[in-house]
Amino acid sequence: MAASSARRYHVWVGTETGILKGVDLQRKHASNFTATGQPRREAAVSVLCWGAGGETQILVGCTDRMVRCFNTEEGAFEGQRRCPGGEGAFRGLAQAEGMLITCVDSGVLSVWRSDDKEAPSDPLLELKVGPGVCRMRQDPARPHVVATGGKENALKVWDLQRPEEPLFRAKNVRNDWLDLRVPVWDQDIYFIPGSQKLITCTGYHQVRVYDPTSPQRRPVLETTYGEYPLTAMALTPGGNSVIVGNTRGQLAEIDFRQGRLLGCLRGLAGGVRALQCHPSRPLLASCGLDRVLRIHRIRRPRGLEHKDELEEPQEPSEEPPEDSEVDELWASLEAAAKRQLPQANRTLRAPGTRKRRKCPRATVP
């Protein structure tokens, strides 16, 4: 593929067949990138994260335990490394100060030196966080702090510089009204920016906020949404709410200061696998098992911005959209699509909406 610095991809999506897709929302076009040129189901993408050096590198964690490095400017895979140790797929991938942090399903969290690419060396640090890990997330403010959680694996916050004991180990909530133990299944974790708090969504349709600075190890706030496991979460740019998605394709915005449901987003037909909000604009990208990437407008008015068929079951991952030119994105909604994509349909549906404005151009914050 030619040098794609002219082509700016707004969203990167990883798929179950091992293809990394870059989606250009202005031209409404998706390009496929594979490491070997052929899609391979063994190399299904399980996690994506940005690499070192701004947003020029993407680290792709695949089910064959390889972490591949993709250069967005060249549009090609650069190198790969094997990360053995433990079993299962990658559940978390992070980059910190020249080190690569990986966590697998069986609970082995490893820190690797990221310079020696090919030779599988021993990890710098290997930590056992408990079996059944569903997510490992790095704190964006403190790169050496990670949080892990999973099925019957309580939330733990680790400091990699002092790996013997976790910084914070969450305690399960009290027994329910039948005096039965409430099961634990943390599916996704986020660090709330501006504080040390964490927010998790569980497979038992709960959203919980933990505060490591308080003496209370139990969740500070707990709300439930729906009846189906929540599989993905994203923090909104405003900083007060999260958007969660469940296995049925229902997306909801929940305020975590009050524990209130702010509204729902519609459009998805299948289970949500990954959600990402734009860092500054109220846009949310969602992808899932129905093989469609959708961009939603979170507020004023809440609705579907753009829809792109990608024809692969999308696995986790999208990367946050890059900062694209503001006016061109808005103006591109009427542009002729390469693949006959539909016009953005403004489905307005939100309980508790704010005052809606008809003209979309006025909503740039």
Partner 1 sequence: MAKAGEKSGGSGKKGLKRKAAVADPQEAAVAGDGATEGGVQPPKATAFPPGFSISEIKNKQRRHLMFTRWKQQQRKEKLIAKKKLKKEREALGDKAPPKPVPKTIDNQRVYDETTVDPNDEEVAYDESTDEFAPYFNRETSPKILITTSDRPHGRTVKLCQQLSTVIPNSHVYYRRGLALKKIIPQCISRDFTDLIVVNEDRKTPNGLILSHLPNGPTAHFKMSSVRLRKEIKRRGKDPTEHVPEIILNNFTTRLGHSIGRMFASLFPHNPQFIGRQVATFHNQRDYIFFRFHRYIFKSEKKVGIQELGPRFTLKLRSLQKGTFDSKYGEYEWVHKPREMDTSRRKFHL
Residues that bind partner 1 (CB under 8 A): 17, 19, 32, 38-39, 41, 203, 227-229, 231, 247-249, 266-267, 269-271, 289-292, 307, 309, 311-313, 339-342, 347
Alpha-helical segments (H) within 223-356 = 326-331
Cβ closest to partner 1, residue 41 vs residue 162 = 41
Residue 353 sits at φ, ψ, to 5 deg, of -80, 160
Cβ closest to partner 1, residue 205 vs residue 299 = 205
Minimum distance from residue 45 beta carbon to partner 1 (Å): 14
Minimum distance from residue 343 beta carbon to partner 1 (Å): 12
Q: 166 in helix, strand or coil?
A: coil
Minimum distance from residue 248 beta carbon to partner 1 (Å): 5
Name beta bridge partners: 275: 286
Cβ closest to partner 1, residue 269 vs residue 326 = 269
* Exposure on the CB side of residue 361, measured as CA atoms within 13 A: 6
CB-based contacts of 362, cutoff 8 Å, min separation 6: none
Q: Which two tokens stand for residue 312?
A: 């692969």
Length of the chain in residues, anyone? 365
Cβ closest to partner 1, residue 166 vs residue 249 = 249
Minimum distance from residue 28 beta carbon to partner 1 (Å): 11
Nearest to 293 by CA among 280, 277, 302, 306: 306
Cβ closest to partner 1, residue 70 vs residue 185 = 185
Minimum distance from residue 40 beta carbon to partner 1 (Å): 9
Cβ closest to partner 1, residue 85 vs residue 313 = 313
CA distance 160 to 124: 11
Minimum distance from residue 26 beta carbon to partner 1 (Å): 18
Cβ closest to partner 1, residue 151 vs residue 300 = 151
Question: In angstroms, what CA-CA distances link 97 with 58, 112, 139, 155, 201?
Answer: 15, 11, 13, 24, 28
Tell how strand 230-235 and strand 221-224 pair up.
Answer: unpaired
Q: 302 in helix, strand or coil?
A: coil
Minimum distance from residue 102 beta carbon to partner 1 (Å): 24
Q: State whether the Cα torsion 146-150-153-154 is positive or negative.
A: positive
